[in-house]
Amino acid sequence: MNLKNIKHIVPAAILLLSLGLGSCVNDLDVTPIDPSTNMTPDYDALFTKCYANMALAGNGGANGDCDVDGLDGGTTGFVRQMFNANELTTDEAICNWGDEGIPAFNFNQWGASHPMLKGFYYRLYFGVTMCNFYLAEAAEYDATMTAEVRFLRALYYFHLMDCFGNIPFLTEVSPNAAPQATRKEVYDFIESELIGENGCIASMKAPKSNTYGRADQAAGWMLLSRLYLNAEVYTGTAQWEKAAEYADKVMKSGYALHKTGEGQWSAYQMLFMGNNGENGAQVEAILPLLQDGNTTTSWGTSLFLMASTFNDKMTYVGEATNGTTEAWGGNRCRPDLVKKFFPNGGIPEDTDTWGVLKAAKDDRALFWGKGHTLEVDDVATFESGFACTKFTNFYSDGSAAKNSQFCDTDFFLMRAAEAWLTYAEATARLNGGTTTTEGAAAINEIRSRANTTTKASYSLNEILDEWSREFYFEGRRRGDLIRFGKFGGSSDYKWQWKGGVKEGTNFNANLNIFAIPDTDLNANPNLKQNPGY
């Protein structure tokens, strides 16, 4: 199955099941109003929809229908809201747009009525619903596909549990209001679903043997390593040994760091380019969300990451901006991110990305300072703060993209470097806070790929900085800061505009978990709001 052809894939009967803003607590009521209506779904299309929910807003492309009623497709885009929730709230990104919800993200001041958090919440629950429906209708259709859908449901629940804490929880199609599960209960479900008795990983395809874009056993191991790395946050009990164990399985699975550049492009840049599914970078792509400028158009996936970070003055290559016609000028870097690449100072002023890269001596320092200031003195101005040039639609071999507006750049939701850093951190925590020989080697392999300096050992704080240097703007920073005790609550770590104050100030620890949307609280009597909201 070619998952790049995922436009117009689900029959009309399935489209009728799209969720309204308060309806996810009731999951799916699939009884047709008209008894003569044919409700037999296309199982292959429904299977694809379980994946496509993370890459597309609906079945009609960027300007078509949206699966979540009441919000536009861009607002509910999975990658877009994963970025907003986990990057704008941290030391990495800030946005100058005035859209409702953006200032609250920038300044750590959200609540239960936040519109973009609602979009993320309902997008995730629509994914759960599609998976539940598939498992109810087609569990016997194909054992491998069933295992993948169970993995996807566990992944959706992971994001819900990580962001929203104690959440509505259903594993079957039901018209009844969902009961609320504790974070620990959801954690236990995810673990059991993956590796418990009859766990789904055993029935998934072996690493690197599945179709590109579909999950295999390594994706399951990566999700487990992510779950265990944050186990102390989720359950109160650390699981560093298990985090290291499953990260090591991924490291030995055949997936690897992409290390060979092409032309002017570094190996790291090639991970985020228009032909990243074909240029060799796919060796690192454990779970890519597939994009095609002609057949999978979306405002909320890879195009969002490049269009929101460029304006039309940033001529990255020749006269081109990011390889598309879209340059919205919104998201850019807080100075705290840029400074991680310049621990001894020497940040160049008024220079393009190529000048920043030369000064940083690190291929990952994909920032634009020309016409920009380092400090964010004016949150409402795009040029206040360095821009980020990490995501583009250029092809590393110089050939043209398929579409001048929409991008071909796949988003690597899980990539191999995560396993390398997870292994380094987990073993360092077991080793008293300093990397083991093997853990340091894992970090050094990542840093060598970036053509930057290496060391014999790394402290936990240095590992946290390495998470940022490797994965900035990829939608994970909030979780890393929480795990290190540097997000909400009393912390000696400040960043610019943290808590709404330019010099940074602490905010309450209850904000480590987002609020359950008020629309679901009103619709479901089983739900209790998270503390502090």
pLDDT (average), residues 142-156: 98
More confident residue, 33 or 226: 226
Banded pLDDT at 318 (limits 50, 70, 90): confident
Residue 460, classed as helix, strand or coil, is helix
**Confidence at residue 144, expressed as pLDDT on a 0 to 100 scale:** 98
User: Under a CB-based contact definition with an 8 Å cutoff, are residues 374 and 92 in contact?
Assistant: no
DSSP state of 262: B
Measuring CA to CA, how many Å separate 446 from each of 442, 450, 472, 513? 7, 7, 14, 31
Supply the pTM of this predicted model. Answer: 0.93
For the stretch 283-314, pLDDT in tens is: 999 999 999 999 998 999 999 999 999 999 99
Torsion of CA 301, 477, 520, 167, to 10 degrees: 120
| Among the listed residues 533, 400, 383, 388, the one whose alpha carbon sits nearest the alpha carbon of residue 472 | 388
Residue with tokens 């985090």: 243
Phi, psi dihedrals of residue 317, rounded to the nearest 5° = -125, 110
Q: Which of 15-24, 35-44, 146-155, 193-202 has the lowest mean pLDDT?
A: 15-24
Rg (CA), the chain: 22
User: Under a CB-based contact definition with an 8 Å cutoff, are residues 233 and 483 in contact?
Assistant: yes
Q: Say how many residues make up the chain.
A: 533
For the stretch 380-403, pLDDT in tens is: 999 999 999 999 999 999 999 999
Joined tokens for residue 261: 């550049």
DSSP symbols for 332-388: EE-HHHHHTT-TT--PPSS--HHHHHHHHT-TT--EE-TT-BSS-S-TT-TTBS-EE
Mean pLDDT of the chain: 92
For Cα atoms 103, 107, 110, give the angle at the middle one, nearest 5 degrees. 75
**Confidence at residue 39, expressed as pLDDT on a 0 to 100 scale:** 59
For residue 30, is pLDDT > 50? no
Residue 434 forms beta bridges with which residues? 459
User: Under a CB-based contact definition with an 8 Å cutoff, are residues 213 and 288 in contact?
Assistant: yes
Relative orientation angle of helices 115-138 and 43-52, to the nearest 10 degrees? 150
For residue 14, is pLDDT > 90? no
For residue 326, is pLDDT > 90? yes
Distance CA 181, CA 313 (A): 49
Phi, psi dihedrals of residue 103, rounded to the nearest 5° = -60, -35
Ramachandran region, residue 165 (left: φ > 0; alpha: ψ -120 to 50; beta: rest)? left
Amino acid at 398: G
Amino acid at 198: N
For residue 252, is pLDDT > 50? yes
User: Under a CB-based contact definition with an 8 Å cutoff, are residues 446 and 421 in contact?
Assistant: yes
Farthest CA pair distance, the chain: 72
pLDDT (average), residues 458-476: 98
DSSP state of 23: -
Distance CA 136, CA 389 (A): 44
Q: Alpha helix locations (H) across 108-251?
A: 115-138, 143-164, 183-195, 217-229, 231-235, 240-251
**Confidence at residue 34, expressed as pLDDT on a 0 to 100 scale:** 46
Reduced 3-state DSSP string for 175-206: CCCCCEECHHHHHHHHHHHHHCCCCHHHHCCC
Banded pLDDT at 104 (limits 50, 70, 90): very high
